[in-house]
Structure 1
Amino acid sequence: MTTATAGLAMSPAIDPARWPGLTARRAKARRVVEGALARRIFMSAVKRLPVRVQIGRESIVGGAATDPNAPLMVLERPDAFFEAVGANGLIGFGESYMAGDWNAEDLGGLLEVFAAQMATLVPEPLQKLRAVYVARMPHTEKNSTANTRSNIARHYDLSNDMFATFLDSTLSYSSALFAGSEQKGGPVAGETVTVSRPASVPAWDDLAEAQGRKVERMLDSAGVGEGSRVLEIGTGWGELAIRAARRGATVLSVTLSSEQQALARERIAAAGFADAVDVELLDYRLVEGQFDAVVSVEMIEAVGHEYWGEYFRTIDSVLAPGGKVAIQAITMPHDRMLATRYTYTWIHKYIFPGGFLPSTQAIVDVNREQTSLRVTERLSFGQHYGETLRLWDERFLGALDRVHQLGFDEVFDRMWHFYLEYSRAGFRSGYLDVQQLVLQREGGR
Structure 2
Amino acid sequence: MHAPRASAAVSVPRDPLRWFAPLFARMLDRIDGALAEGAIEATLPDGSKRRLGGHGQGPVAVVVLHRWRAMLRLATGGSVGWYEGWVAGDWSSPDPVPLFDLFMRNGRALGSVGRAGRLTGLARRVAHWSRRNHRANARRNIQFHYDLGNDFYRAWLDPSMTYSSAIFAEPQEPLETAQDRKLQEILDRTATMPGDTILEIGCGWGSFAERAARAGRRVHGLTLSAEQKRFVEQRVAAAGIEGVEVSLTDYRDATGRYDAIASIEMVEAVGREYWPSYLDTIAARLKPGGRAALQYIAIDDALFDAYANGVDFIQAYVFPGGLLLSSERFRRLAEARGLRWQDEHRFGIDYAETLKRWRDAFDAAVAAGTLPGDFPAGFVELWRYYLMYCEGGFRGGGIHVAQVTLVKEG
Conserved? CA contact 1:34–1:87, under 8 Å: no
Q: Which runs of 5+ in 1 are unaligned?
A: 1-28, 180-199
The CA distance in 1 between the partners of 2:223 and 2:299, in whole Å, is 25
Amino acid at match of 1:276: G
Rg larger in structure: 2
1:10 is aligned to none
Mapping of residues 395-410 of structure 1, within 5 Å: 395-401=361-367, 402=369, 405-408=372-375
State the Cα distance separating 1:265 from its structure 2 match. Answer: 1.2
Conserved? CA contact 1:137–1:344, under 8 Å: no
State the Cα distance separating 1:404 from its structure 2 match. Answer: 5.7
State the Cα distance separating 1:227 from its structure 2 match. Answer: 0.8
Mapping of residues 45-84 of structure 1, within 5 Å: 45-46=31-32, 48-49=34-35, 50-56=39-45, 58-63=47-52, 70-76=60-66, 78-84=67-73
State the Cα distance separating 1:207 from its structure 2 match. Answer: 0.5
1:220 is aligned to 188
Root mean square deviation of aligned Cα: 2.7
2:8 is aligned to none
Conserved? CA contact 2:42–2:52, under 8 Å: no
Conserved? CA contact 2:75–2:117, under 8 Å: no
Which 10-residue stretch deviates more, 148-157 or 409-418?
A: 409-418
2:238 is aligned to 270
State the Cα distance separating 1:164 from its structure 2 match. Answer: 1.6
1:375 is aligned to 341
State the Cα distance separating 1:33 from its structure 2 match. Answer: 10
Conserved? CA contact 2:152–2:372, under 8 Å: no
Identity %: 35
1:23 is aligned to none
Mapping of residues 245-324 of structure 1, within 5 Å: 245-273=213-241, 275-324=242-291
1:390 is aligned to 356
The CA distance in 2 between the partners of 1:389 and 1:216, in whole Å, is 20
Conserved? CA contact 1:145–1:283, under 8 Å: yes
Amino acid at match of 2:30: S
The CA distance in 2 between the partners of 1:329 and 1:362, in whole Å, is 13
Q: TM-score by structure 2 length?
A: 0.87
2:311 is aligned to 344
Conserved? CA contact 1:231–1:252, under 8 Å: yes
1:209 is aligned to 177
Residue number among 376, 382, 386 corresponding to 1:415 in the alignment: 382
Which string of whole-angstrom CA distances, capped at 9 and with x for unpartnered residues, describes residues 380-439 of structure 1? Answer: 111111110111111111221436652235622221121111111111111111110001
The CA distance in 2 between the partners of 1:387 and 1:89, in whole Å, is 26
The CA distance in 2 between the partners of 1:130 and 1:374, in whole Å, is 40
Which string of whole-angstrom CA distances, capped at 9 and with x for unpartnered residues, describes residues 235-275 of structure 1? Answer: 110000001111111111000111111111111211212x4
Conserved? CA contact 1:334–1:359, under 8 Å: yes
How many residues in Structure 1 have an aligned counterpart in Structure 2?
Answer: 386
State the Cα distance separating 1:174 from its structure 2 match. Answer: 0.3
Which string of whole-angstrom CA distances, capped at 9 and with x for unpartnered residues, describes residues 301-351 of structure 1? Answer: 000000001100011001012211100001111121122223111111111
Work out whether 1:332 is the aligned partner of 2:299.
Answer: yes
State the Cα distance separating 1:89 from its structure 2 match. Answer: 2.2
State the Cα distance separating 1:83 from its structure 2 match. Answer: 3.6
